């Protein structure tokens, strides 16, 4: 069997944890399996590196930021290979360049295009455990790229697909996917299974237990995932095409505090304006989520939308540069907002989920600022200060006993 095992930052955060992971991988290897390990940077390394960059230059070139961040994962894989060598097992660490993991050129937000498997396969044939850097890739200029925060999960799934692995296991600091972030709602329940579609919505809406693109890739290449703890043997959560519904209308509540709202006020009320605004953002790789258009005064219109907090400065810059072309009179931004979503395939056949969610928010006096829906989710934008109380109220409404 060929197994891809991915361990996140906390799971390799110190010497003891590194040896713990090494032993878990060796256990698998000694059963006769071929083992490929994907690692994130240790503990808070990525945040620390970003803080260093900020000190030197808050508007640092993205190419250089990626060059810097990639060091975090490279440290982890080298130390892991040393730990395994100490435990008497042959292992080799490889970075994105050595494997040849090709991505698009977008620094900080790259996507995999192609992964060469020759080097990994030849190392596996030499009976080694292969330890690969998560989160990074190489673009057509032979520069290092990164995949976006949390991207090591995506490296693991992409490798599992390219290597036709028999299993892809994501080890983290919780023992599975819960109905909500257990740090916010301690009563959240662990799910035995969740479908790709639901997990994709949850991840995109802020449940950072899996990187959303890892779920997208897993669905595309039909890679079943297991999310489980690196510290216990508890059974994890299976993420697959069809999950058994456990009699629940919704499978989870997701929270995203890293959002900002931008409002363009006084746009011309004529065809093509929305296209121009969102095309301008798309050209700069800025993803937009909840969108609201309303009629303003004197035959003008207002458009407001949310972007990731990390994109807000760039979004404001590019929009302001195009002010005349886009025709807005004023631009405003707010960063004290958060997104709260309920997700569940069950809501397709059940009216009343929206009403239930809004009632729960009303009961705790939380005001809704924007709403957006899809077939399997309802999202509201609320004040950041309200988020914990709102999350518990909504979770309690649908999932509480
Ligand atoms: P890693 O470093 O292993 O990749 P992350 O911090 O990226 O770990 O993701 C794990 C964290 O995701 C958990 O500690 C938990 O707080 C958070 N989380 C958010 N939503 C959920 C959820 N629905 N189920 C489980 N964990 C969640
Ligand atoms: N180290 C990277 C991050 O902190 C990637 C990851 O952990 O998946 O975002
Ligand atoms: Mg993660």
pTM strictly above 0.75: yes
Ligand 2 centroid to 158 CA: how many Å?
16
| Integer Cα distance of 189 and 180 in angstroms | 8
35 Cβ contact list (under 8 Å, min separation 6): 3, 5, 25, 28, 29, 129, 130
Residue 39, CA atoms < 13 Å, CB-side half-sphere: 36
The closest residue, in CA terms, to atom 8 on ligand 2 is 150
- Nearest ligand, CA 10: 1
Ligand 2 centroid to 363 CA: how many Å?
37
Residue-level pLDDT at 62: 94
Residue-level pLDDT at 246: 60
Residue-level pLDDT at 401: 67
Ligand 2 centroid to 233 CA: how many Å?
23
Our mutation pick for probing the ligand 2 site, out of 65, 71, 151, counting the most ligand atoms within 8 A of Cβ, is 151
Residue-level pLDDT at 349: 72
**Cross-sheet strand order for the sheet of 288-295:** 288-295, 300-308, 252-268, 330-343, 377-383, 370-374
Ligand 3 centroid to 118 CA: how many Å?
27
SS3 132: strand
**Which residues does a 6 A CB cutoff place in the pocket of ligand 1?**
8-11, 40, 150, 172-174, 177-178, 180-183, 207-209, 252
Torsion of CA 35, 79, 141, 115, to 10 degrees: 0
Residue-level pLDDT at 243: 78
- CA–CA distances in Å: residue 130 to residues 8, 33, 241, 253, 378: 16, 12, 28, 36, 42
| Integer Cα distance of 134 and 129 in angstroms | 16
Asked if residues 37 and 129 have their Cβ atoms less than 8 Å apart, the reply is: yes
Residue positions counted in the chain: 401
| Integer Cα distance of 208 and 222 in angstroms | 21
Ligand 3 centroid to 176 CA: how many Å?
12
Asked if residues 232 and 175 have their Cβ atoms less than 8 Å apart, the reply is: yes
The closest residue, in CA terms, to atom 15 on ligand 1 is 181
Task: List the Cα angle 172/394/179 in 5-degree steps.
Answer: 25
Identify which of 342, 334, 343, 341 has the alpha carbon closest to the alpha carbon of residue 384.
Answer: 334
**Which residues does a 6 A CB cutoff place in the pocket of ligand 2?**
8-9, 40-41, 46, 72, 134-135, 149-152
Mean pLDDT by 10 residues, the chain (401 residues): 97 98 98 98 98 96 97 98 98 98 95 98 98 98 97 98 98 97 95 94 95 97 96 96 76 95 95 95 91 88 95 95 94 97 84 91 96 92 97 93 67
């Amino acid at each position: 069997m060929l197994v891809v095992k991915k361990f996140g930052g906390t799971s390799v955060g110190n010497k003891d944890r590194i040896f713990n992971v090494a032993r878990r991988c060796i256990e698998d290897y000694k059963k006769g399996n071929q083992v490929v390990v994907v690692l994130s940077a240790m503990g808070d390394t990525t945040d620390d590196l970003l803080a260093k960059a900020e000190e030197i230059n808050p508007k640092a070139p993205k190419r250089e930021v990626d060059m810097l961040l990639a060091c975090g994962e490279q440290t982890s894989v080298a130390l892991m290979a040393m730990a395994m060598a100490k435990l008497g097992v042959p292992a080799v660490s490889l970075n994105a360049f050595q494997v040849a993991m090709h991505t698009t050129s977008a620094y900080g937000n790259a996507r995999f295009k192609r992964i060469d498997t020759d080097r990994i396969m030849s190392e596996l044939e030499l009976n080694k455990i292969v330890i690969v850097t998560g989160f990074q890739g190489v673009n057509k200029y032979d520069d290092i790229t990164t995949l976006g925060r949390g991207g090591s999960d995506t490296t693991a799934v992409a490798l599992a697909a390219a290597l036709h692995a028999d299993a892809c296991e994501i080890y983290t600091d919780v023992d599975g996917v819960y109905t909500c972030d257990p740090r916010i709602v301690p009563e959240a329940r662990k799910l035995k299974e969740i479908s790709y579609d639901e997990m994709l919505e949850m991840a995109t809406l802020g449940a950072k237990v899996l990187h959303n693109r890892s779920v997208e890739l897993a669905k595309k290449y039909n890679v079943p995932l297991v999310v489980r703890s690196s510290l216990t043997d508890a059974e994890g959560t299976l993420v697959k095409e069809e999950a058994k519904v456990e009699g629940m209308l919704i499978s989870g509540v997701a929270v995203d505090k890293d959002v900002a709202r931008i409002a363009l006020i006084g746009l011309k009320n004529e065809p093509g304006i929305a296209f121009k605004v969102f095309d301008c953002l798309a050209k700069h790789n800025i993803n937009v989520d909840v969108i609201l258009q309303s009629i303003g005064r004197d035959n003008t219109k207002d458009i407001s939308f949310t972007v990731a907090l990390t994109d807000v400065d760039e979004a404001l810059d590019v929009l302001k540069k195009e002010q005349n072309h886009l025709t807005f009179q004023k631009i405003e931004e707010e960063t004290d907002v958060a997104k709260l979503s309920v997700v569940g395939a069950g809501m397709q056949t059940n009216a009343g989920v929206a009403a239930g969610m809004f009632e729960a928010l009303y009961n705790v006096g939380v005001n809704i600022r924007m709403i957006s829906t899809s077939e399997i989710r309802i999202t509201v934008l609320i004040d950041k200060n309200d988020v914990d109380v709102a999350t518990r109220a909504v979770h309690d409404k649908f999932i509480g006993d």
